[in-house]
Chains A and B, each alone.
Chain A
């Protein structure tokens, strides 16, 4: 087992948590806009509207944190190991969207989430 095993795992989890916060902030911002993006011009307008929301800047901060944590992970870990484990963010987002955004998470989604956790456990055994 790798000497930095626990460090790498905690850094990947931190990067995923930062990414989850990023996604939650972005989704909350976009939800308040409620606009159809059907062409490039409308996409630019949407980006402009998002850029004027404070929460979007919080998202950007967490997105940057996630990026540099990820780069630091990659200095210590194999890409094939870290990339697979990074899928833990699907699990965090499933829980967060259920608890915080109050989205309905059906049985199929929870089964999928369990499969992702199982896969992560298998991959983490190979670190």
Chain B
């Protein structure tokens, strides 16, 4: 199966994927914030925590986003190679951090930004290093 290079429309889908991933993480965080002071100190607490989480609407918004990510990602991978898709999709490391800064007012030090950019570079290298063999 031959795959074409990156086209404008695929790029838009990739951007959409980044936005959906950011949205999913924001919903996960929103769901988690609702149980900010919950501490698991014994086995039974795990079930209570899971119960709190699955009845939280934000978690279901996150699941919805994950479903769209899965569908969109499958469509993207049928058009372009993983080694092109993953580095662009890894921009979500920057987007999620920006969302944390803007929406959750997290303080992000210069060192953390540098670390995130180094991770981004590493992910790009890993994903463009795919073997010659067709996957």
The interface of chain A, by Cβ under 8 A from chain B, is: 36-38, 43, 68, 70-75, 78-81, 83-84, 87, 90, 94, 103-104, 106, 108-109, 111-126
Q: Is the CB of B125 within 8 A of A108?
A: yes
Q: Tell me what chain B mostly uses at the interface: helix, strand, loop, or mixed.
A: helix
Residues of chain A with a CB closer than 8 A to B29's CB: 74, 79
Assembled-state Cα–Cα distance A79/B78 (Å) = 31
Q: Count the A-B residue pairs with Cβ separation under 8 angstroms: how many? A: 135
Q: How many residues of B contact A (CB 8 A)?
A: 49
Most buried by A among B78, B109, B119, B120: B119
Q: Decide yes or no whether B114 CB sits under 8 A from chain A.
A: yes
Q: Tell me what chain A mostly uses at the interface: helix, strand, loop, or mixed.
A: helix
Partner of B122, one of A83, A114, A124: A114
Residues of chain A with a CB closer than 8 A to B33's CB: 74-75
Task: Name the residue on B nearest A108 (C-beta).
Answer: B129
Task: Name the residue on A nearest B59 (C-beta).
Answer: A71
- Given A79-B104, A103-B131; A113-B126 close (CB under 8 Å): yes
